[in-house]
Amino acid sequence: MKASVADDAATKICTAIARVPRGRVCSYGGIARVAGLPGRARLVGTVLRTSPTKRELPWFRILTASGKLAFPEGSEPYAEQRRRLEAEGVSFVNGRVDLKRFGWPREASLDEALWGMGEAQ
């Protein structure tokens, strides 16, 4: 990737990460889609790992597609990410976050989209 294209992609990824609300999580692939870069989940990881602005981003809200933390269980980064998420009310069951419950952006089911299920009628 050329430097300007890479910088543009990194900016889009950082902007998408910054949009994840408190108490919500998103997968690496989800961030790539929100950033307009579908299929670039690994690039999201690379940007998070190398970005000088990562301390300002809610990096801890980004998980694997299965709802697990990407850091090795038992490591300090794993513990920190889990602590931060739990402090925002995100819960874990068997080491995973329920993406249907805590995921962002929340995708409506077909019934919700068509009939407004779950909304005040």
Confidence of residue 120 (pLDDT cuts 50, 70, 90): very low
- Residue 58: phi and psi, rounded to 5, are -80, 60
Q: Which CATH number fits domain 3-115: 1.10.10.10, 3.40.718.10, 3.30.2310.20, 3.20.20.70?
A: 1.10.10.10
| Paired strand residues for 27 | 63
pTM, to two decimals? 0.83
| pLDDT tens string 57-90 | 999 999 999 999 999 999 999 999 999 999 999 9
Question: Does 109 score more than 60 pLDDT?
Answer: no
Question: Does 55 score more than 90 pLDDT?
Answer: no
Q: Which own/partner pairs from 107-116 qualify as long-range (CB within 8 Å, at least 24 positions apart)?
A: none
Instruction: State residue 119's pLDDT score.
Output: 42
How many CB atoms are closer than 10 A to CB 86?
11
Residue type at 12 in one-letter notation? K
How many CB atoms are closer than 10 A to CB 106?
11
Give residue for tokens 């990096």: 59
